[in-house]
Amino acid sequence: MQVLDGKALAQTIKEELKVKVDAIRQAGGKIPHLAAVLVGENPASQVYVRNKVRSCEAVGFRSTLLRRPQDITQSELLQIVTELNADPDIDGYIVQLPLPAHIDEDAINLAIDPRKDVDGFTPVNIGRMTLGLDAYLPATPNGIMVMLDRYGIETSGKEVVVLGRSNIVGTPMTVLLSRKSNPGNATVTLCHSRTKDLKAHTLHADIIVAAIGIPEMVTADMVKEGAVVIDVGINRVDDASRSKGYRLAGDVDYAGLKDKVSAMTPVPGGVGPMTVVSLLMNTLKASQKR
């Protein structure tokens, strides 16, 4: 089995980005500047944002972290978004999700300037992506597409099953894999919680993208010999044998599948690092456009 090592690939791409940023600096150009808004004390969100800030530093980007308390009002957060939209020095920014329950995530998303939407979540960028126009692609799906390309995974004419229909991963993944491009040109089936006989679909798939949020749900009896598995899930599973009391697991049973599939992403160290590096790629693109 080929391990699709996202951590190693992300490091390679970061080194490539650093070369580009160094060239910009030597030419006296503007250094890309990414801002992140972090609301509350969600542990996972803090880790994600910290990784993004560190990655910016590694490639030579400028970064700004705006931390706000859990009880920030929606109007206060919208004011921050308005200020970031207007700041000429900020090339792109993200509002880390999830937000507190009293804040309407859609309202925040709709307020983000699409030209600075390096997460690729605004309707303008999603719409442009759907039409095959130039856009900032959602970070996780784009990271997966880059991984498929760099590892030479053939998608043209393949049967792909995507598990999960979120607007952040599952739905855009089906668009990217089915459109006329490379990677792409696949026949894609989107499965979700209401899909009947899920196993019948997954057994037919040459490639499975699991983004359903259920620990180790995809087992060996659901996957055909030689399939490629992209595991987007990252779940905490109680494990008394670990010092922290838990372990991280994906949406697929890695141990049960590793002797059956032809290629698979690990968890952690697979899709996660590619999501971060995709954000950096979008930020550089935004900076060059501005």
Q: Is 119 a catalytic residue?
A: yes
80 marked among binding-site residues: no
Q: Is 96 a catalytic residue?
A: yes
Phi, psi of 218 (to 5 degrees): -85, 110
Round to whole Å and give the CA distance between 35 and 112: 13
50 marked among binding-site residues: no
Pick the catalytic residue: 14, 91, 117, 119? 119
CA 233 from chain centre, in angstroms, equals: 11
Round to whole Å and give the CA distance between 28 and 26: 5
* Residue 177 Cα distances to 53, 87, 249, angstroms: 29, 35, 25
DSSP 3-state assignment of 67?
strand
72 marked among binding-site residues: no
Q: Which two tokens stand for residue 72?
A: 């920030």
Pick the catalytic residue: 14, 91, 96, 253? 96
Strands of the 187-191 sheet, one edge to the other: 2-3, 263-264, 228-231, 207-210, 159-163, 187-191
25 marked among binding-site residues: no
Pick the catalytic residue: 52, 116, 158, 285? 52
Other C-beta atoms closer than 10 Å to the C-beta of 160 total 21
Cα separation of the two ends of the chain: 43
Other C-beta atoms closer than 10 Å to the C-beta of 82 total 13
Handedness of CA 105, 110, 111, 117 (dihedral sign): positive
DSSP 3-state assignment of 63?
strand
Residue with tokens 């009002």: 73
User: Is 11:279 a contact under the CB 8 Å cutoff?
Assistant: no
Q: Which two tokens stand for residue 263?
A: 């290629």
Q: What share of the chain is helix, strand, coil (3-state, %, to 5)?
A: 40, 20, 40
Residues at the binding site for NADP(+) are 164-166, 234
Residues at the binding site are 164-166, 234
Residues carrying an active site annotation: 52, 96, 119
